[in-house]
Amino acid sequence: MNARYIRVWLGRRLLSRRVAELGRDAYIDRPEMLGGPEGLYLGDEVLIRPHARIECIRSGAYRGKIVIGARTSAQLYFHCAAAQLVTIGTDVLIAGRVYITDHDHAWPEGGEKLVVAPVTIGDRCWIGEGAAILKGVELGAGCVVGANAVVARSAPAGSMLVGAPARPVKRFDPQSGQWRRVQG
């Protein structure tokens, strides 16, 4: 047996004892932080690359839950935080340095008070390098989020979003199989 195989086997074994659900062949490779793992649900064949920061907040009234669907992959430095619920669909591709959260801090009150709204990312979405998806966002199936986009509003299935704040610039037309520019 080679060293990588042993590391993966041991990592899965330890992870299976900590998370709520660990699907077949799901794996988090050398996470930077794994907070509140009892709120983490990973589907089959989920792969999260090294240096991920995954936080299910488990403090006071908060019982964060992160659900990641089958065959979803996240690249280096993925950061996902939930005080309530983050749901990521199946076959989602997440580039490096992506941040997904269902909360932010109340301001100017400050302190530990959070403003929370669940996040849902549909099946077959593609999230570009350095993108941020913020509280209350719902992305329909097949959305594409451009690199460094800051998504603060929901978008229907088949939308292409770019910018900060992100806005839809194209929509996929399933009948023609083409991306069409959004007017306005």
Whether the per-residue pLDDT at 103 is higher than 70: the answer is yes
- pLDDT of the residue at 113: 79
Give the CA angle between residues 48, 34, 97 to the nearest 5°: 45
Mean pLDDT of 107-124: 85
> Mean pLDDT score of the chain, rounded to an integer?
91
CA 62/CA 67 separation, integer angstroms: 16
Q: What are the φ/ψ torsions at residue 177 (nearest 5 degrees)?
A: 75, 25
- Start-to-end CA distance of the chain, whole Å, equals 58
